[in-house]
Amino acid sequence: MKQNLELLMEMLAALPDPVFVLSESGKYLALIGGHDARYYHDGSHLVNFSLHDVMPKARADWFLQQIQQTLEEGRLRTVEYSLGAHEIKGMELAEGPEQDIWFEGRVQPLRRPFRGERAVVWVARNITEHYNMQRQLKTLSEQDELTGAYNRRKLMEALQERVAEFHRYSHPLSLIIFDLDHFKRVNDKFGHVSGDKVLFSITTLCNKQLRQQDLLCRYGGEEFAVLLPNTNLEDAVQLAQRLRTTVGSYDFEQELGESYSITISAGVSTLTPGDDIESLIKRADSGLYQAKNSGRNCVIEKARQL
Ligand SMILES: Nc1nc2c(ncn2[C@@H]2O[C@H](COP(=O)(O)OP(=O)(O)OP(=O)(O)O)[C@@H](O)[C@H]2O)c(=O)[nH]1
């Protein structure tokens, strides 16, 4: 019997991930396992304290809510969250990972009350590596390899979200499609590799003019699209003009080895009630087509004909 108990204690102590027992009121009742300092900080000092004693209120509230919801549902729940050791009072920062950790928390109700309170077992697994890799993969799947701008897939995804938002909340949404003028001449004169450098620099130049929420995408070879949430037609045209003058006044000497200017032509459209993604794109495209036919280096707006 004693041997079995010893074995059980050994097993519990050797659990690779920390396992907390947390009460319904947010008290740390017990902690076992999670002793590998490569993955976890030592949280043994937390036992007998409450969540609200050791972490900022908003954080503690969140953990408490998870505990209470798990008890209410009476079944295993899985949650993901990031937590830095610096957010927990009394944590030994030097011993353990430096960065904030992404955790997967598996939260299971205990079958009976513990010290007079309902409680859960909370297994916290460090998933930082997995999380970062997933984020990296997501970024790669949304990005154009050459320029770092978003790709067409991301544009279509964002369009779907934003158009739905427009129909629900009437937030304005505009689209610019622009294309480099006579880009074939650049390739012919300086070579494809230099042309690639120009595409990269144009992406950088344009991104500097955009807000965080705007989305610059490489739409085709030398064609770009800019999705502008919360932007009406007038402001979108203004921005398109700014992109046009920014690119037009830039000297591509560094990219091409001699002083050289490149202009862009753009079409602009804005979403209206009853409109859809296809017609928004179509109008911006037709504005671009008209801009090319009007001598290039200009912006043409296309309002919807009702
Ligand atoms: N370097 C480089 N060139 C590209 C890439 N994608 C498309 N292009 C080039 O872009 C050029 C597009 O040529 P056109 O469609 O004739 O258009 P343009 O010369 O820009 O003329 P307009 O659009 O009518 O002003 C071609 O030379 C393509 O090879 C790319 O990824 N890298």
CATH of the domain at 110: 3.30.450.20
Per-residue pLDDT tens digits for 16-33: 999 999 999 999 999 999
Domain final residue, candidates 135, 160, 194? 135
What is the band of 2 on the pLDDT scale with cuts at 50, 70, 90?
Answer: confident
Residue 244: burial class (beta carbons within 10 Å; 0-12, 13-18, 19+): buried
124-128, long-range: CB < 8 A, 24+ apart: 124/17, 124/18, 124/19, 124/20, 124/34, 124/40, 125/17, 126/17, 126/39, 126/40, 126/97, 126/101, 126/102, 127/80, 127/102, 127/103, 128/97, 128/99, 128/101, 128/102
The CA 283 to ligand 1 mean position distance, Å, reads 22
Q: In this prediction, what percent of the chain has a pLDDT beyond 90?
A: 86
Domain final residue, candidates 92, 112, 135? 135
Reply yes or no on whether the pLDDT at 111 is more than 80.
yes
Does the C-beta of 192 come closer than 6 Å to ligand 1? yes
Per-residue pLDDT tens digits for 238-262: 999 999 999 999 999 999 999 999 9
Domain final residue, candidates 135, 165, 187? 135
Residues assigned a catalytic role: 222
What is the band of 231 on the pLDDT scale with cuts at 50, 70, 90?
Answer: very high
Give the closest residue (by CA) to ligand 1 atom 25: 181
If one residue of 180, 183, 186 were mutated to test the ligand 1 pocket, choosing by the most ligand atoms within 8 A of its CB, it would be 183
The yes/no answer to whether this complex scores an ipTM above 0.90 is yes
The pTM assigned to this predicted structure is 0.78
Reply yes or no on whether the pLDDT at 1 is more than 80.
no
Per-residue pLDDT tens digits for 202-220: 999 999 999 999 999 999 9
Same domain, 97 and 159: no
How many structural domains does the chain have? 2
Host domain of residue 32 = 2-135
Cα–Cα distance measured from residue 63 to residue 50, given in angstroms and rounded to the nearest whole number: 11
Kindly state the average pLDDT of the residues 148-160.
Answer: 96
Does the C-beta of 144 come closer than 6 Å to ligand 1? no
Same domain, 148 and 225: yes
The CA 191 to ligand 1 mean position distance, Å, reads 12
Does the C-beta of 181 come closer than 6 Å to ligand 1? yes
pLDDT of residue 96: 84
The CA 21 to ligand 1 mean position distance, Å, reads 63
Per-residue pLDDT tens digits for 62-95: 999 999 999 999 999 999 999 999 999 988 877 8
pLDDT of residue 306: 62
Does the C-beta of 178 come closer than 6 Å to ligand 1? no
The CA 73 to ligand 1 mean position distance, Å, reads 59
Per-residue pLDDT tens digits for 165-206: 998 888 999 999 999 999 999 999 999 999 999 999 999 999
pLDDT of residue 13: 87
Mean pLDDT score of the chain, rounded to an integer? Answer: 95
